[in-house]
Structure 1
């Protein structure tokens, strides 16, 4: 049994693999080599996305959800590719005025 060179897989296979990963894992995989970093930006991978924002539960109660820079940056970078975007908000929503204007 020989060693298989996975870099020889067609791009369509890598796109399918990346589509099955969550956003954090996609990013980690994209850091491994240039080819996978290129595939990370493929429009098909970003056609469906879920952005989950949770309130912090420090005091055993639901605190406001704060929209941080990370989802805003993700939306700016890949927003034109989204065909199906789900925002999952758990807790009360509190918009930071500066970030709200960045989103518009």
Structure 2
């Protein structure tokens, strides 16, 4: 087991100990979709370039395709697909951070 030299300075350990992952970095899937919808309004749909700062949200938009999101005729299906992709990306990122100590990187 890894012991901190300076208590409370091992960020991955703090995240694990206090279950702070979701509050620490990523919005919920509904909030993430709200950011995408807001960005459509801000940049003028598929003619603009989205400026989404959250990495997982940005990556989910890239995977789905900005034009596809903007031009969809079935928003419910697109939203459901976005939710699946976004959750997968967040879970993968979470696992990478939580595995950090096991790999000796923490």
Q: TM-score, normalised by structure 1?
A: 0.28
Q: Which has the higher strand share?
A: 1
Q: TM-score, normalised by structure 2?
A: 0.28
Q: Which has the higher helix share?
A: 2
Q: Larger RCO: Structure 1 or Structure 2 (Cα < 8 Å, ≥ 6 residues apart)?
A: 2
